[in-house]
């Protein structure tokens, strides 16, 4: 019997596992994949979680954050206009190849029993929990489900059918000479593509490149090359690019209302809710919700509160500190999908008043 089983070794799962293990809990972390691996992601790590990330990384991986490229600017290319706003404090650009592997290593280093290539098939009980996996059964007093947006454990019968539009995520790394130190978002009918500079770190070697990551309707594009021709400025820019990684993709992208608790299980990261990727906050929300889940469970492990009370404390901290980001980002998403005739005056206003654009961005934080 462990104190805690965490399902999923992404930012949410490792954040929960590391925080609990450092406070003396016996933690089993289960991940179906294998690190390091590329993942569909814009790799924009917003400033809100950088202190938390610095605390979670093991000492040998601190340079991953300290040396990361900073992103002090965002440019939005839409309807022939370029809206520019500062990202203040600047975000960090960190490849998921390095990011997830470093957090996994940190979990191992602080005593988490971390097992890769183990698929969780089902969960029973409501505390203690029985977890059925590809390598056998495990029991725990508490459970954090951090298995991401679309795992076999999180799908419901209505998911994937909402609104009939099917979204796809695509990503690839490319060589570009002198990329701008900004996150550049190219919006077009049926999707958008973000581009920003990033480094891959391999021992003492650093390899510079740009990450191009798109969210697109499946009837508009199914490859990055098809995405690039959807926007004139992106088509022009991508002409000089040379691929440096195999492209990766993920689908479907399904947006859900936040649900931080289900049948006594604490849901963290994308498993609790998937925020629209263009706000660049998914990693930050994953790290923060993982650590909030852990902080809510620690008093239960110490015998100070019941499991139900721990879950209630998590839900209320989540609602207070994280849920507002989801509400604001869906408002912005609705604004961007307005008909062009309505969008044009709004964009003109934002172009003339960078303070309003900056305010909107800050409300998604
Ligand atoms: C197109 C796109 C662009 C994005 N761009 C950005 C960005 O620029 N900045 C940003 O902050 N966020 C971005 N995001 C969002 C970000 O990638 C996620 O919010 C983040 O990865 C969530 O972390 P997580 O730990 O909750 O889930 P994940 O990182 O998905 O980790 C979940 C883990 O659980 C494992 N798992 C799943 N099922 C099981 C199972 N049954 N058993 C065992 N293990 C299992 C998976 O293998 C996976 O490793 C983007 C997302 C998309 C789709």
DSSP string, 232-273: HHHHHHHTT-EE-S--EEE----------EETTEEE-GGGT-
70 CB-contact burial (10 Å; exposed 0-12 / middle 13-18 / buried 19+): middle
Residue nearest to atom 15 of ligand 1 (CA): 282
- Pocket perturbation via mutation, ligand 1, pick of 52, 53, 148, 361 by most ligand atoms within 8 A of CB: 148
Token pair for residue 299? 């008093």
Q: Is any atom of ligand 1 closer than 6 Å to the C-beta of 169?
A: yes
Residue nearest to atom 41 of ligand 1 (CA): 120
Q: Is any atom of ligand 1 closer than 6 Å to the C-beta of 10?
A: yes
Alpha helices (H) in 87-175, listed in sequence order:
96-109
pLDDT per position as a tens digit, 97-118: 999 999 999 999 999 999 999 9
If phi over 0 gives left and psi between -120 and 50 gives alpha, with beta otherwise, what is residue 152?
Answer: alpha
Give the model's confidence band at 75: pLDDT under 50 very low, under 70 low, under 90 confident, else very high: very high
Q: Is any atom of ligand 1 closer than 6 Å to the C-beta of 12?
A: yes
Give the model's confidence band at 279: pLDDT under 50 very low, under 70 low, under 90 confident, else very high: confident
Residue nearest to atom 30 of ligand 1 (CA): 148
Q: Is any atom of ligand 1 closer than 6 Å to the C-beta of 185?
A: no
pLDDT per position as a tens digit, 289-318: 999 999 999 999 999 999 999 999 999 999
Model confidence at 356: pLDDT above 70? no
Q: Given this model, what pLDDT does residue 174 score?
A: 98
The secondary element (H helix, E strand) that includes residue 75 is strand 69-78
The secondary element (H helix, E strand) that includes residue 39 is none
Give the model's confidence band at 254: pLDDT under 50 very low, under 70 low, under 90 confident, else very high: confident
Sign for the pseudo-dihedral over CA of 311, 316, 322, 328 = positive
Q: In this structure, how many other beta carbons lie within 10 angstroms of the beta carbon of residue 360?
A: 16
Helix or strand or coil: residue 346? Answer: helix
Token pair for residue 130? 């029985």
Please, are residues 42 and 29 in contact by the beta-carbon 8 Å criterion? no
In residues, how long is the chain?
365
Give the model's confidence band at 327: pLDDT under 50 very low, under 70 low, under 90 confident, else very high: confident
Residue nearest to atom 35 of ligand 1 (CA): 8
Q: Give the separation between CA 328 and CA 267, rounded to whole angstroms.
A: 21
Give the model's confidence band at 261: pLDDT under 50 very low, under 70 low, under 90 confident, else very high: very high
| % of the chain residues with pLDDT over 70 | 88
For the CA of 15, the closest atom of ligand 1 is 25
Q: In this structure, how many other beta carbons lie within 10 angstroms of the beta carbon of residue 345?
A: 9
Q: Is any atom of ligand 1 closer than 6 Å to the C-beta of 184?
A: no
Token pair for residue 246? 């195999």
Q: Give the separation between CA 338 and CA 273, rounded to whole angstroms.
A: 24
Global pTM reads 0.93
- Pocket perturbation via mutation, ligand 1, pick of 147, 153, 254 by most ligand atoms within 8 A of CB: 147
- Gap from CA of 45 to ligand 1 centroid (Å): 13
Our separate counts of H helices and E strands in the chain read: 11, 17
pLDDT per position as a tens digit, 27-47: 999 999 999 999 999 999 999
pLDDT, averaged across the chain: 90
């Amino acid at each position: 019997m462990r104190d805690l089983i965490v399902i999923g070794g992404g930012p949410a799962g490792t954040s929960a596992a590391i925080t609990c293990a450092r406070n003396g809990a016996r933690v089993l972390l289960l991940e179906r994949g294998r690190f390091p691996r590329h993942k569909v992601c814009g790799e924009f790590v917003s400033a809100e979680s950088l202190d938390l990330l610095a605390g979670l990384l093991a000492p040998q991986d601190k340079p991953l954050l300290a040396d990361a490229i900073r992103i002090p600017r965002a440019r939005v290319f839409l309807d022939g206009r370029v809206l520019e706003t500062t990202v203040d404090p600047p975000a960090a650009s960190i490849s998921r190849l390095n990011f997830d592997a470093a957090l996994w290593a940190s979990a191992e280093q602080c005593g988490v029993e971390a097992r890769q290539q183990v698929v969780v098939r089902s969960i029973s009980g409501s505390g203690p929990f029985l977890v059925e996996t590809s390598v056998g059964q495990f029991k725990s007093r508490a459970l954090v489900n951090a298995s991401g947006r679309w795992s076999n454990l999180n799908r419901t019968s209505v998911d994937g059918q909402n609104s009939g539009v099917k979204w796809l995520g695509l990503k690839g790394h490319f060589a570009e000479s002198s990329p701008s130190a900004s996150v550049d978002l190219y919006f077009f009918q049926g999707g958008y593509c973000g581009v920003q500079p990033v480094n891959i770190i391999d021992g003492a070697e650093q390899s510079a490149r740009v990450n191009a990551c798109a969210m697109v309707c499946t009837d508009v594009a199914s490859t990055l090359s098809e995405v690039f021709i959807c926007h004139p400025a992106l088509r022009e820019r991508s002409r000089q690019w040379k691929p440096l990684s195999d492209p990766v993709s993920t689908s479907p992208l399904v947006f859900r209302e936040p649900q931080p608790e289900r049948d006594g299980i604490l849901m963290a990261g994308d498993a609790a809710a998937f925020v629209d990727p263009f706000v660049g906050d998914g990693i930050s929300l994953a790290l923060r919700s993982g650590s909030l889940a852990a902080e809510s469970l620690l008093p239960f492990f110490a015998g100070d509160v019941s499991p139900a009370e721990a879950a209630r404390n998590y839900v209320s901290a989540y609602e207070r500190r994280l849920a507002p980001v989801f509400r604001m980002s869906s408002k912005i998403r609705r604004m961007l999908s307005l008909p062009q005739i309505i969008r044009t005056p709004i964009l003109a206003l934002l172009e003339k008043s960078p303070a309003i654009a900056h305010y909107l961005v800050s409300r998604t934080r």
